[in-house]
Amino acid sequence: MSERLQKVMAHAGVASRRACEKLIEAGHVRVNGSVVTNLGTKVDETDRIEVDHTLINQEEPVYFILNKPKGVITSVEDEKKRKTVLDFFKHKVNERIYPVGRLDYDTSGALLLTNDGKLDYLLTHPKFEIDKTYVAKVEGIPSESELDKLRKGIRLEKNVKSAPADVKLLKKVGENEQDGLIELTIHEGKNHEVKKMLQAINHPVHKLKRISFANLNVDGLEVGKWRPLRKREIRDLFELQNQENGKNN
């Protein structure tokens, strides 16, 4: 799969994406021997990319799952100097990795990080409908009729409606069993979507954790810890694309 030249350069550790764009526009970059100045240029792993006549190394793809703690930013860097998910990988991973999708600052759980743009596209593009499962502690106990609204899709804003979700009440929690523990599976990635969905049925979220993403979970992984994906897990992730292609044929 081809990707924009500046993205490939950034992943290879040349510079930030914006700085790579400036290098391209200034004529410092050659692709297969020819100077390229168009920011829309796309390349793949077969192309020879040089910056000031120095060949860049396109990294081998790597894949990691992190059990993200709450209170950490899902970003490569933060202008406010807050802790980011990449801080867990400093001095331990040499490749230029980045998070696939995002988890809110106060949301914990399963987060994939990689340098593989092809997989990033597969897991984040809405057309592939990748499942994400959350457990939420909410205020009050939702009724079945309220949960049915989420199963059918509920209006979040004037022109925004959620897709149908799989949802169930796991149990009542709290000192007097006054709150509910909800499991909810969605395949969209709108900003704060789970929180907005539960707020829309008047049961605001007190605590939120993503327990699985596609075929990945954080079972046995302590909060703040990470591990490389197993070969089988990587293969299964790419198989999701084949399944989606089969639906569309």
For 111-170, the DSSP string reads EEEES-HHHHHHHHSGGG---EEEEEEESS---HHHHHHHHH--EEETTEEPPP-EEEEE
The 10 Å Cβ neighbour count of residue 238 is: 12
Cβ proximity of 181 and 169 under 8 Å: yes
Q: Which of 52, 104, 106, 179 is catalytic?
A: 104
Q: Would residue 78 show up in a list of annotated catalytic residues for this protein? A: no
Task: For residue 245, give the H/E element and its range.
Answer: helix 231-248
CA distances to 44, 66, 78, 209 from 82, rounded to whole Å, are: 34, 18, 6, 20
Residues belonging to the active site:
104
